[in-house]
Amino acid sequence: MLRRSLRLSLPVALATPLLLAGCFDEQRESTSSETGERISVAMLQPPRSGLTPLSDDAFKLSRWSTAETLIRLDASSDPQPFLATEWEQLDANTWRFVVRDGVEFHDGTPLTVQDVVNSLTAATQAAPKPRILDGVNMTIEADGNNAVIVRTEKADPLIPNRLSSPQLAILAASAYDEDGRVNPIEAGTGPFVLKEINGTTSARLDRFDDYWGEPATVAGIDADYVPDGTARAASLRTGAADVVEAIPVSQVALLDPELVFEVPMPRTNTLYLNTESGPMSDPGLRAAAREAIDRPAIVNTVYEGRADIAEGLLGPALAWASNYRTPIEDRTAPTDPNGTEITLATFTDRAELPEVAVLLEQQLTQAGFSVNQEVREYAHIEADALAGEFDAFILSRATVLDSGDPVAYMFSDFACAGSFNIAQLCDPAVDEALAKAAVLPTGDERRQAIIDAEAAILRTDAAIPMLHERVIQGESARVTNAERDPRERMLITEKTSIDADSDS
């Protein structure tokens, strides 16, 4: 199935760079003006939910610096002021955040305490809730004219970190309708105002001259969604795009090395196994799959050495993890697959994953499984994966994307109540370990509890981490100060600039 899919799409893949280059060039010519140079960006994935901030689309809004949160995280994942200027913990379940004065929304209305209450309350009432709120029952109320009170049902030491998630961005009242839909056009507070959403094709943003902070250097952002990795790389090579997300490893050798930047990131390529139904509900067969995987072969063959072999769910981007980790004991012994038929699925949006699937099929077949593959675009496979339709699913997963702390990711993916539980796992020992980690304050004790939870998860073989990815980002020579963010929250900021006289 995979090979047939690749053969059918090859002519399109070869043609796309030419079409894309024309599209970008036309866009650049039509949008440059006396107001300054615009920056063109080739994005990895199209929006899945119309760019609502209550979905993963929020990270596009964040990477374009159009929607902002109360808190932002620094390089060490420690909370820093943003739309909130200060905060304090009043008791175990209660926090107070002072809202920044003098901020204007893109629709011309001032930021008020009530806007903060409305935005955060909308997130708590969304269905499904943003991942960052998995397992969190939170209420928000105004405290005078300049602050909000955030209360949680249970003690939660990570509330400031949670409020840094792009899914909890603060938008103007005009963004929300009575049916719970959210339209982010001209509704944020960032240095760029979202002016146009062209479905799953592109988006256009302009500089917001009334921004409360430092004004943007460039006149605007022209973002195109380019799921095809070859086409994204070609857009950098031809100069059609200024900044390119997620360049496939296979394309790096074709590019000027001075335009390619590589950063270790908290993203793990993991094989999720269905623990609830099908053959992988047998712990012995999951153990057999664990033993069959040759991680170095995947790293060296598919990623050409541009990835790190996984020792756990958390990789070298969290430098502390290896200091707390010890060998996992009492692991289930593998049983002979004896021709057991399984369906292995993944998606095409990350170019390496179908190649990983080919290698995994070979390794699992050699171990005694009979493997069928299912490969689609992510938007067309996510629902089936979450519904447990596959025996095994290869996922490239950010482990601290939301809060800067891995507990939220672990809960979402592996707790009984997790909303992104592809493995369909419900294990009391895992839930107990996650609950213990969740209530501890940041520091050594919490970090040890996180690694203990990791061990509890890995002991089930519901997830088999294979490798930790690196950010491979392309930037034309005319770009300066594009962000290279391991958490994938920032890309184009007010400091990003374009040298119009560059030869690139």
Domain match, 400 and 493 both? no
The mean pLDDT value for 213-220 works out to 97
Total domains in the fold of the chain:
3
Domain boundary residue among 119, 142, 176? Answer: 176
Rg of the Cα atoms in the chain: 23
Tell me the one-letter amino acid at 373: Q
Does position 265 have pLDDT exceeding 90, yes or no?
no
Does position 25 have pLDDT exceeding 50, yes or no?
no
Domain match, 211 and 282 both? no
Sign of CA dihedral 108, 52, 128, 269: negative
User: Which pLDDT score, from 0 to 100, does residue 360 have?
Assistant: 98
Does residue 112 form part of some domain? Answer: yes
Higher model confidence: residue 501 or residue 168? 168
Of 37, 80, 6, 77, nearest to 373 by C-alpha is 6
**Looking at 328-408, which runs of residues are DSSP E strands?**
341-347, 370-376, 392-398
Domain match, 268 and 374 both? yes
Q: Which H helix or E strand runs over 451?
A: helix 444-460
pLDDT above 70 coverage of the chain, percent: 92
Domain match, 310 and 354 both? yes
Does position 174 have pLDDT exceeding 50, yes or no?
yes
Domain match, 337 and 399 both? yes
pLDDT tens, position by position, 356-379: 999 999 999 999 999 999 999 999
- To which residue do tokens 């708590």 refer? 124
Does residue 252 form part of some domain? Answer: no
- CA atoms of 73 and 76, how far apart (whole Å): 7
Does position 26 have pLDDT exceeding 60, yes or no?
no
Does residue 168 form part of some domain? Answer: yes
Q: CATH no. for residue 159?
A: 3.90.76.10
- CA atoms of 235 and 230, how far apart (whole Å): 9
pLDDT tens, position by position, 403-421: 778 998 999 999 999 999 9
Backbone angles phi, psi at 123, to 5 degrees: -65, -40
Q: CATH no. for residue 279?
A: 3.10.105.10
User: Which pLDDT score, from 0 to 100, does residue 263 have?
Assistant: 81
pLDDT tens, position by position, 313-346: 999 888 789 999 999 988 999 999 999 999 999 9
Lowest mean pLDDT among 20-24, 77-81, 120-124: 20-24
Does residue 337 form part of some domain? Answer: yes
The mean pLDDT value for 27-51 works out to 75
DSSP state of 129: P
Does residue 247 form part of some domain? Answer: no
Does position 6 have pLDDT exceeding 70, yes or no?
no
Does residue 304 form part of some domain? Answer: yes
Does residue 449 form part of some domain? Answer: yes
Q: What pTM, to 2 d.p., does this model score?
A: 0.73
Domain match, 294 and 370 both? yes
- To which residue do tokens 């060039």 refer? 25
Domain match, 360 and 453 both? yes
| pLDDT tier for residue 34 given thresholds of 50, 70 and 90 | very low
Classify residue 434 by burial, with Cβ atoms within 10 Å: 0-12, 13-18, 19+. buried
- CA atoms of 361 and 370, how far apart (whole Å): 8
User: Which pLDDT score, from 0 to 100, does residue 24 have?
Assistant: 54
Domain match, 238 and 285 both? no
| pLDDT tier for residue 8 given thresholds of 50, 70 and 90 | very low
User: Which pLDDT score, from 0 to 100, does residue 427 have?
Assistant: 98
Q: For the CA atoms of 349, 353, 354, 359, what is the dihedral angle to 10 degrees?
A: 180
Domain match, 8 and 104 both? no
Does position 18 have pLDDT exceeding 80, yes or no?
no
- CA atoms of 49 and 398, how far apart (whole Å): 19
Q: What is the mean pLDDT of the chain?
A: 90
Domain match, 305 and 429 both? yes
The mean pLDDT value for 206-217 works out to 97
Domain match, 82 and 226 both? no
Domain match, 398 and 298 both? yes
Of 145, 94, 91, 151, nearest to 120 by C-alpha is 151
Tell me the one-letter amino acid at 164: S
Lowest mean pLDDT among 68-72, 99-103, 115-119, 261-265: 261-265
Does position 163 have pLDDT exceeding 50, yes or no?
yes
Query: Which long-range CB contacts under 8 A does 361-364 form with residues at least 24 apart?
Result: 363/292, 363/293, 363/294, 363/297, 364/289, 364/292, 364/337
User: Which pLDDT score, from 0 to 100, does residue 281 have?
Assistant: 98
Q: How far is CA 352 from CA 91, 157, 301, 302, 487, in A?
A: 47, 37, 10, 7, 19
Segments forming the whole domain that contains residue 449: 264-470
User: Which pLDDT score, from 0 to 100, does residue 31 have?
Assistant: 41
Q: CATH no. for residue 223?
A: 3.40.190.10
pLDDT tens, position by position, 239-261: 999 999 999 888 999 999 999 99
Does residue 254 form part of some domain? Answer: no
The mean pLDDT value for 45-55 works out to 91
